[in-house]
Amino acid sequence: MDALVLLGSLAVFIAIGVPVAYSLGLAALVGALWIELPLEAVMIQLASGVNKFSLLAIPFFVLAGAIMAEGGMSRRLVAFAGVLVGFIRGGLSLVNILASTFFGAISGSSVADTASVGSVLIPEMERKGYPRAFATAVTVSGSVQAILIPPSHNAVIYSLAAGGTVSIASLFMAGVVPGLLLGLTLAIMCLFIAKKRNYPKGDPIPLRQALKIVGEAMWGLLTIVIILGGILSGVFTATESAAIAVVYAFFVTMFIYRDYKWSELPKLMHRTVKTVTIVMILIGFAAAFGYLMTLMQIPTKVTAAFTTVSDNRYVILALINVMLLALGTLMDMAPLILILTPILLPVVTALGIDPVHFGMIMMVNLGIGLITPPVGTVLFVGSAVAKLPIGVVTKATMPFFVALFTVLLLVTYIPGLSLWLPRALGL
């Protein structure tokens, strides 16, 4: 009955339109009153939920991504991708995927990826003869890479939701191979569609111009080297790397590229603070909600329920995938990670599944949810950038779900894809 009160009140608050973050907080209060827990205990858990050093990575990575997106770095990365693959038939779609790979490895955000890459490439692809809906579908599908490729904001949130038992560095490295595999699979799909629909080839870029483009893009690509190289070498932690990324992004944007006005910086900071505030409120309320779930032994009960269905890990993973895909269409990614990780992690660890591997399974599942209606955040951003109805973009995205589901199955049932690199690096 305790679990029904807690989870039922959460469902009711969400159903009547209360924002997810506040729904979690109110449901925690209802649950505390039901079991006669002092409300001070809930407040203590809320405060301790956001009082973690590792959480500093989120505002710093958000700020670094915003500086890079608005300071001209995304445009230069798109141009660099064009040098590499733009001359192939359907090359601009490959440029889109590759640019998302580069920018995702800098911003760690699918929304930022879609907004920055899409604003450059969707109009350009349409001008070159690609349907606008197809260009948007490529953009939103490619942006899912940012969830997997380090530095992913959601990997930080998963580490927090797992109680800090999974290191952020391990999760960052675990996402490299699945993220690149996703990009490769989407690129193959783009080539197949381009050949079938006879999309145009791009023009080769003259050597002098190509060298200039590569030179400008290297400043942005060095961000990836600094972040990952610093973490792997032990020079600084994942959290410290976020702060260094901000300093480097600021230096490159304001003193090397010099495309951004100093007068615009306060507005950029204001937008970043608003974004971070929403995330931190969500994390604090989710910590209180998770505390109530633990007191009510909900994770233990869910583990028992799953194991009564089957003791086969492959069957359990299939059931979890179906559940995550369904929930991902109804709620945003961050709250689902915070709510479901404390519930599902005991289930998978009881079956001998590595928590890092499960983190990648969850990322891919919920990443697909970001481009799936009715609550696909990235889908809405892509539609807004392209100025197209949601239904039109969704229909154009359908072929790319084949690639996404293929990668989901591979990541789910081949643990080595996620675990090989962290283990090779001794993480």
Helices marked H in 35-131 — which ranges? 39-50, 57-70, 73-85, 91-107, 110-127
Exposed / middle / buried, residue 311 (Cβ in 10 Å: 0-12, 13-18, 19+) = exposed
Asked if 58 and 156 touch (Cβ cutoff 8 Å), the reply is: yes
Please say if the pLDDT value at position 356 is more than 90.
yes
Average pLDDT over residues 98-119: 82
Helical axes 110-127 vs 57-70, angle rounded to 10°: 20
Q: How large a percentage of the chain has pLDDT more than 70?
A: 100
Tens digit of each residue's pLDDT (9 = 90 or more) over 291-310: 888 788 777 777 777 777 77
Decide: residue 197, CB within 10 A, 0-12 exposed, 13-18 middle, 19+ buried: exposed
Binned at pLDDT 50, 70 and 90, residue 188 comes out as very high
- Alpha carbon 138 to its chain centroid, in Å, reads 16
DSSP 8-state code for residue 264: G
What's the mean per-residue pLDDT of the chain? 84
What pLDDT is attached to residue 401? 92
165 contacts 355 by C-beta, under 8 angstroms? yes
Task: Show me where the domains of the chain are located.
Answer: 1-425
Task: Determine contact, residues 249/70, Cβ cutoff 8 Å.
Answer: no
256/145 Cα distance (integer angstroms):
28
Model confidence, pTM: 0.85
**Length, in residues, of the chain:** 427
pLDDT of 372 > 80? The answer is yes
